[in-house]
Amino acid sequence: MSAQPKLVSMSEPMAPLVGIAEVARLLAVSTITIRRKVAQGELRCVRLTPGGPMRFDVRDIEKVVAAHKS
């Protein structure tokens, strides 16, 4: 089961997007773990083109980090 794509309103300011390797580094896990979390719906990703590379909103990653610190 794949995660639903994230729709972004053009009126919202865009946050920086980071790649899967950067997310894995920030969370101190493997890229395979990141892909698994996306597939399970635990982490949202953005694909700029169909089947393109996964990109992640920095704000979503910051929320994951904050949740694990508390």
Summarize pLDDT for 14-47 with one digit per residue, the tens: 788 999 999 999 999 999 999 999 999 999 999 9
Amino acid letter, residue 45: C
Q: How far is CA 63 from CA 1, 34, 57, in A?
A: 23, 15, 10
Burial 23-60, CB ≥16 within 10 A → b, else e: bbebbeeeeeebeebbeeeebbbbeeeeeeebbbbeeb
Contact status, residue 38 vs residue 54, Cβ threshold 8 Å:
yes
Spatial distance between the Cα atoms of 32 and 23, rounded to a whole number of angstroms:
11
Domains of the chain, earliest start first: 17-69 (1.10.1660.10)
**Cut 0.85: pTM above it:** no
* Higher pLDDT, residue 51 or 70: 51
